[in-house]
């Protein structure tokens, strides 16, 4: 996985996920941190995708933050690393990029990968009404 294949917004979300984990005293940056970072971005595609898919971004963010609050805290001089689950999401996003014939991994690729993650993040997205088909349809409309 080449970080240079990620758009500026995607790179910002990845950095923000790590910073969010550190600020919350979590040992690892997890997919939930990435979703929170994506939902916090302004001027990107994630909020229009979420809204266009029928979900309420504020409720989705609240559900994500609630799940993050249940994660164990770690104190001391430790460096936050990416969890294996987050690394798998980043790799899956790169595969999404490839499958869609895009040159760079953008935030919508990250969101698509989070949908397929099979963890709390994917469950929260699904419970919010976001599906791959609703996202694809909304994305087509936005790009259209």
Residue with the larger pLDDT of the pair 57 and 105: 105
**How sure is the predictor about 143, in pLDDT bands with cuts at 50, 70 and 90?**
low
Work out the average pLDDT over 84-107.
95
- Is the model's pLDDT at 117 over the cut of 90? no
Do 124 and 63 touch, CB atoms closer than 8 A?
yes
**How sure is the predictor about 144, in pLDDT bands with cuts at 50, 70 and 90?**
low
CA neighbours within 13 Å on the CB side: how many for 62? Answer: 6
For the whole model, what pTM was predicted?
0.93
Work out the average pLDDT over 73-94.
91
């Amino acid at each position: 996985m080449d970080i240079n294949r990620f758009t500026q917004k995607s790179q910002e979300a990845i950095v923000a996920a790590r910073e969010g984990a550190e600020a919350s005293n979590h040992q690892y940056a997890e997919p939930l941190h990435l979703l929170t970072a994506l939902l916090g971005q302004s001027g990107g595609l994630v909020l229009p995708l979420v809204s266009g898919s029928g979900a309420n971004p504020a409720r989705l963010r609240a559900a994500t933050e609630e799940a993050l609050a249940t994660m164990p805290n770690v104190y001391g001089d430790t460096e936050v690393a990416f969890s294996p689950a987050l690394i798998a999401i980043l790799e899956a996003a790169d595969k999404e990029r490839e499958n869609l014939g895009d040159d760079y991994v953008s935030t919508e690729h990250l969101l698509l990968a989070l949908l397929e993650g099979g963890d709390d993040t994917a469950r929260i997205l699904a419970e919010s009404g976001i599906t791959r088909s609703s996202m694809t349809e909304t994305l087509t409309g936005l790009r259209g």
